[in-house]
Each structure stands twice: as structure tokens, then as C-alpha cells.
């Protein structure tokens, strides 16, 4: 099985003004004259990490990683104003133009798959192809599956669900996303942080096929709060997309080569979404692997690295 490429450092970093409020942190890795690829991180709100550079052969790719608005090293950190999917799509174009790239391969996992599809459909002439992992289409039923009391995920990870649900009084369980949002956006900082830790304690520890049901995150509380607030902000607005939009507009990108890698036992972004996408986009290649949600599980890493190598072999265009 293929593993990640060795660790690398950026050869260049940028601060790109997206508008009067937001500044994006962007890094370039690999080969300056290589095949351009943009990596779109998950969350929303998670930020790019050094591991994300390693899905690509640095001898063949010019790897661009963007910390999305409010995320990672972009500023203002955790900012929700002017932070929607349309803004993020515009930011990708701003970065592409800033770097002088004509067209690039678009790679995104989890929320990054949503953003990759939205970007490519808005600017199909700028994409050479797509690699998607852990597909999330921003639909209400996907949010309900994982975050609401009438969803299905609670039946599979009951220990973790019990902690997530217990943070909210039973009379508010009709909409847990909204109940969490009220606490994440409330005036009490300690209550905000506690809600964020409960929110991400459910998500982060449901990401792998094998996991410790009692594991506790050691993440910085303020980082946890920023990510949870951005996620809840997007989820309660259904990713700022019309229902079914990404499937409805698939004809805009069906001419582009695409690989969809999906964990068969992904609890966070269940396989039905990847299946629905593949049915609407029969030209794309869907590869189901024995894994959960995380890109770092061996079968998923293997499939993603094989995909990036295959695109590099064809020049990604």
C-alpha cells in the first residue's frame, strides 16, 4: 500500500488580502514549476497541516495549501463575518490569480470536498480535475445523520453520542445544532468553550475506524472554540448552498477527470453521499475503501496517493 510522501517544508508562504477584513495564509510546497494543485482542508475551520502536503509527490507537484477564512493562520482567527461558501470560492480564485496559476488540480476531503465541488462548478475552466475524499454535499439530511437526535450516527458510536447529547438538555434535542450554536455564540466564555469541546469531542473521535471511546482531546481550548463556531455556523446554514445544488450543477464539471475516495465505514460523511455523487457523475471513478472518515487511515491514504500519482502521470490535465 502507498504511504504519504516524506515531510517537507514550504518553499514560499504568502499573506493574501481577500478583502478589507480577511487575510489568507497560503503556502507553496514541492516544485515551483511543478503541476499545480490546490489542497482544500476540512472542517470547515480546521486549517491546513503539514500532513496535508504529503499526499503529493514533491518532485512533480507545485502544492498550494490555503487556510480558509477564520481558520489556521488566516486572520482574523475564528471570524464569522463575511464567511460563507461563496466567499471561500472567491478566495480560491484570488489565490490562484495571486500565484499566477492558470489551471490547477483541485483536491479536497470532507468539507474540502464540498468546497472543491462548489469551486470547480463556479470556475470549471480553472480546474484540471478533482480528487475528493469523504464526500459531504452540504445537505440537511447529512447534518441530521451525524449531529441530530433522529440521525443514524448515534446508533454506531453510542458512547461518544451520549457525551455529545448530554451537554444539551433533553428539551432542546429537537435541534442539537441550534442548541449548540446558542451556547457557542453565547456571552459566557467558559460555557462557549465547554460547548465547543463537547461538539468536537463527538466529531474528532468518530473519525477513525478504530478509536478509543474514552479519548479526550488535548487541543487548545480557543482553537477548539474557533473551529466549533465555524462548523456550526456553516452547518446551521446548510453550507450556504441550495439543497441539492452540487448534484444539480454536476454537468458543469462532468468533462473533468475525477477520483472519489470514500471510507466504507465513514460515520461523519457516510458513503451514501459519495454514491449519490458518483451516480450523478458516472465519468468519475469511485473507490470505496475499508476505512472510516480520516484521510490518515492506511486504505484511504493509499487510494489518495495513488490518485495524485496517476494525475501526475498524465500531467494532471
* Residue where a domain terminates, one of 213, 238, 263: 238
Same domain, 49 and 194: no
Per the listing, cell 462548478 goes with 121
Residue 250 included in any domain = yes
Active-site option among 71, 74, 110, 113: 110
For the chain, give the longest Cα–Cα distance. Answer: 58
Active-site option among 67, 293, 294, 302: 293
- Give CA–CA dist 111/42, Å, rounded: 4
Q: Quick check: is 173 catalytic?
A: no
Q: Quick check: is 293 catalytic?
A: yes
Same domain, 22 and 128: yes
Same domain, 65 and 76: yes
Same domain, 173 and 220: yes
| Residue 98 belongs to domain with CATH number | 3.40.50.1820
Per the structure, the complete domain to which residue 171 belongs is given by 140-238
The predicted-structure confidence for 68-109, as pLDDT tens digits, reads as follows: 999 999 999 999 999 999 999 999 999 999 999 999 999 999
What's the predicted TM-score (pTM) here?
Answer: 0.97
Residue 1 included in any domain = no
The predicted-structure confidence for 199-242, as pLDDT tens digits, reads as follows: 999 998 889 988 777 777 778 999 999 999 999 999 999 999 99
Same domain, 122 and 253: yes
Same domain, 262 and 132: yes
Same domain, 259 and 193: no
pLDDT at 149: 97
* Residue where a domain terminates, one of 185, 212, 238: 238
Q: Quick check: is 33 catalytic?
A: no
Same domain, 154 and 303: no
Sheet holding 35-40, edge to edge: 12-17, 23-30, 61-67, 35-40, 104-109, 127-133, 258-263, 285-289
Active-site option among 266, 273, 294, 302: 266
State the total domains in the chain. Answer: 2
* Residue where a domain terminates, one of 182, 217, 238: 238
Amino acid at each position: 500500500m502507498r504511504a504519504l510522501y516524506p515531510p517537507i517544508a514550504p518553499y514560499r508562504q504568502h499573506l493574501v488580502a481577500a478583502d478589507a477584513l480577511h487575510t489568507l495564509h497560503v503556502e507553496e510546497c514541492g516544485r515551483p514549476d511543478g503541476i499545480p494543485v490546490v489542497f482544500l482542508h476540512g472542517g470547515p475551520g480546521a486549517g491546513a497541516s503539514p500532513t496535508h502536503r504529503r499526499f503529493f509527490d514533491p518532485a512533480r507537484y507545485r502544492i498550494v495549501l490555503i487556510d480558509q477564512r477564520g481558520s489556521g493562520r488566516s486572520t482574523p482567527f475564528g471570524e464569522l463575518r463575511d464567511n460563507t461558501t461563496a466567499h471561500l470560492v472567491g478566495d480560491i480564485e484570488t489565490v490562484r490569480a495571486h500565484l499566477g496559476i492558470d489551471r490547477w488540480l483541485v483536491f479536497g476531503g470532507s468539507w474540502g470536498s464540498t468546497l472543491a465541488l462548489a469551486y470547480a462548478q463556479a470556475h470549471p475552466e480553472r480546474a484540471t480535475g478533482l480528487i475528493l475524499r469523504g464526500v459531504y454535499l452540504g445537505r440537511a439530511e447529512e447534518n441530521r445523520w451525524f449531529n441530530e437526535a433522529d440521525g443514524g450516527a448515534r446508533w454506531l458510536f453510542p458512547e461518544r453520542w451520549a457525551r455529545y447529547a448530554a451537554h444539551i438538555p433533553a428539551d432542546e434535542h429537537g435541534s442539537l445544532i441550534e442548541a449548540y450554536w446558542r451556547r457557542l455564540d453565547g456571552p459566557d466564555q467558559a460555557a462557549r468553550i465547554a460547548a465547543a469541546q463537547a461538539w468536537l469531542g463527538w466529531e474528532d473521535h468518530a473519525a477513525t475506524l478504530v478509536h478509543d471511546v474514552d479519548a479526550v482531546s488535548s487541543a487548545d481550548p480557543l482553537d477548539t472554540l474557533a473551529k466549533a463556531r465555524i462548523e456550526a455556523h456553516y452547518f446551521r446554514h446548510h453550507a450556504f448552498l441550495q439543497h441539492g445544488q452540487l448534484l444539480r450543477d454536476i454537468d458543469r464539471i462532468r468533462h473533468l477527470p475525477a477520483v472519489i475516495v470514500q471510507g466504507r465505514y465513514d460515520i461523519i460523511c457516510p458513503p451514501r453521499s459519495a454514491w449519490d455523487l458518483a451516480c450523478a457523475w458516472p465519468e468519475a471513478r469511485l473507490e470505496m475503501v475499508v476505512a472510516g472518515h480520516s484521510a490518515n487511515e492506511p486504505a484511504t491514504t493509499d487510494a489518495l496517493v495513488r490518485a495524485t500519482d496517476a494525475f501526475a502521470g498524465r500531467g494532471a490535465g
